[in-house]
Amino acid sequence: MNEFFSALDSFVWSPLLLIPLLLGTGLWLTIRLGGVQLRMLGPSLRLGLIDRKDDGGEGDISQYQALATALAATVGVGNIVGVATAIGIGGPGALFWMWVTGLVGMASKYGEAFLGVKFRTTDAAGEQSGGPQYYLKKAIPNTFGKVLAYTFAIFAAIAAFGIGNLTQGNAVATNLENSFGLPVQATGAIMFILVGAVLIGGIKSIGRFTAAFVPMMIILYIAAAIWVLVANVADIPAALALIFTDAFTGTSAVGGFAGAGIILAIQMGVARGLFSNESGMGSGAIAAAAATTTHPVRQGLVSMTQTFIDTLIVVSFTGLVIITTGAWEEGGEDPGSMTARAFSEGLPGTIGGDLVTLSIVFFAFSTMLGWSYYGERAFESLVGRMGTVPYRFVFTCVVYLGAVTELETVWAFASALNGLMALPNLIGLVILSGLIARETKAYLDFDPQLRASAKEVAEWERHRVS
């Protein structure tokens, strides 16, 4: 199994398949949208984090809750262990390629969230449901579109058990046992109860929980990272120089990690970047489709900020802490220990290691909640509404399984499935890029600062149609 998933992972993430498609799609959308992720970042952050909601729109949760749910699903083990893995194997230059993936990925995230809202549908329970499993077959109304949609749905429903469950639960249990001696069985039981309790209420329950929990979690982690960076402020310029030079020359990390050159730096940076921010995978569109919004462009821009926060902020802090403290040069068998060692360099006593452990716990728990919803919606599109409760139950049980089982193949499995679910979505984004660009330009010409009321948007839509 390990050999199979490792081989599949290497094939999917080869420089001839997903890497150029991922970066190319993001770059193509960036060009077609006129760099929307740069010119509209300010208004988008204001709408998502300050205004927080569109009054008068349709949806199940607020725009802020949809953003928090997407952040909950992405700000996870990948932001701690994934960054360490990328730097440990690909060298400091891998962080540069994570930045590139995040920057162009903001355009991909915008495009898929826009489509998620535009082509969403109301399910049998009266809730909004959307994502690539819907917009690929609606916006590409032929056999090819249906094949893309069903392929995405199958891979997403399975991938949720990897990226959003097994990897997260295993990381939590392992770190709590190593740091505090808590038996993995106890951790598994606690997570089983907590995850199940939140999932009973569906997306509204998830949205309320993540809206309150995620900001606190991110702020505390960044505050600790700033503390470490202040203690090592003199090393920041050299670290930045190393990141940029190593991105185009490649180097090898010492101590238990295999080194490589530029290809490996790119491969690890892009793969772990996608694992962290999920831009281009299509998963964020599922959360966006549940948002109460007056127009797809507005929610697309709010969703875009999730990639900015996840990769260009949280991942950056993790990577800079690892590089400035020199922890990446020491290597080690466990990538998580690299991050813990890095934080311990700038924080007193054992606070650094304990902080990383608790961050993994909080980040992983929130990721499970977000991905349970993604997998559930993908599965629902295949079997109907009757599949949602059984899916939640199985997902919750697998949380315990991930905690108590040694999972040697889990990272290769999760990475490979991430790539496989991204493929149909990326192809769809390229095909639908013209539609995305036209609709975006039309709306932003009308409302460039995202301040139009629901009544004004509705009136504009009526005049536009007529």
- 3-class DSSP assignment, residue 432: coil
Residue 241 burial by Cβ neighbours in a 10 Å radius (0-12, 13-18, 19+) = exposed
Q: Give the model confidence (pLDDT) of 294-330 as tens digits.
A: 999 999 999 999 899 988 899 999 999 999 998 888 7
Region 103-124: mean pLDDT is 92
E strands, 13-124, in order: 121-122
Residue 35: pLDDT above 90?
Answer: yes
> What is the per-residue pLDDT for 281?
87
Residue 183: pLDDT above 80?
Answer: yes
When pLDDT is cut at 50, 70 and 90, the band that residue 45 belongs to is: very high
When pLDDT is cut at 50, 70 and 90, the band that residue 89 belongs to is: confident
DSSP state letter for 291: B
> What's the rounded Cα separation, in Å, for the pair 157 and 370?
13
Q: Which two tokens stand for residue 466?
A: 């007529």
Q: Give the model confidence (pLDDT) of 206-264 as tens digits.
A: 878 777 777 888 888 899 999 999 999 999 999 999 999 888 876 644 444 444 467 77
> What's the rounded Cα separation, in Å, for the pair 13 and 19?
6
Hey, which residues does 25 pair with through a beta bridge? none
Q: pLDDT above 90 covers what percent of the chain? A: 40
Q: Are the beta carbons of 421 and 159 closer than 8 angstroms? A: yes
> What is the per-residue pLDDT for 334?
62
Region 275-290: mean pLDDT is 84
Residue 187 burial by Cβ neighbours in a 10 Å radius (0-12, 13-18, 19+) = buried
> What's the rounded Cα separation, in Å, for the pair 95 and 79?
11
Cα dihedral sign for 435, 303, 134, 78?
A: positive
> What is the per-residue pLDDT for 256?
40
Residue 130 gets the label, from left (phi > 0), alpha (psi -120 to 50) or beta, of: beta
When pLDDT is cut at 50, 70 and 90, the band that residue 379 belongs to is: very high
Residue 261 gets the label, from left (phi > 0), alpha (psi -120 to 50) or beta, of: beta
Q: What is the pTM of this model?
A: 0.89
- What phi and psi, each to the nearest 5 degrees, are found at residue 23? -70, -40
Q: Give the model confidence (pLDDT) of 325-364 as tens digits.
A: 988 887 655 655 788 888 888 788 778 888 888 888 888 8
Hey, which residues does 58 pair with through a beta bridge? 293
Nearest to 399 by CA among 179, 167, 176: 167
Residue 416: pLDDT above 60?
Answer: yes
Give 284 or 466, the one with higher predicted confidence: 284
When pLDDT is cut at 50, 70 and 90, the band that residue 34 belongs to is: very high
- Within 119-201, residue ranges assigned H as helices are 132-139, 143-161, 167-180, 184-199
> What's the rounded Cα separation, in Å, for the pair 184 and 177?
6
For the chain, helix (H) and strand (E) counts, in that order, are 24, 2
Helix, strand and coil percent figures for the chain, each rounded to 5? 80, 0, 20
Range from 62-76, 120-134, 390-404 carrying the lowest mean pLDDT:
62-76
> What is the per-residue pLDDT for 259?
42
Residue 290: pLDDT above 80?
Answer: yes
Residue 432: pLDDT above 60?
Answer: yes
Region 3-29: mean pLDDT is 86
Q: Kindly compute the dihedral angle of the four CA atoms of residues 58, 60, 61, 67, in this order, to the nearest 10 degrees.
A: -80
> What's the rounded Cα separation, in Å, for the pair 444 and 438?
10
Nearest to 296 by CA among 141, 431, 119, 66: 119
Residue 448: pLDDT above 90?
Answer: yes
Q: Which two tokens stand for residue 454?
A: 């629901």
> What is the per-residue pLDDT for 61?
79
Nearest to 247 by CA among 236, 234, 258, 263: 263
Nearest to 339 by CA among 315, 324, 356, 351: 356
Q: Average model confidence (pLDDT) for the chain? A: 86
> What is the per-residue pLDDT for 335?
59
Q: Are the beta carbons of 303 and 109 closer than 8 angstroms? A: yes
Q: Which two tokens stand for residue 14?
A: 């080869």
Find how far residue 127's CA is from the centre of its chain.
23
Residue 275: which residues within 8 A CB-CB, separation 6 or more? 78, 82, 163, 414, 415, 418
In the block, residue with structure tokens 């995978």: 281
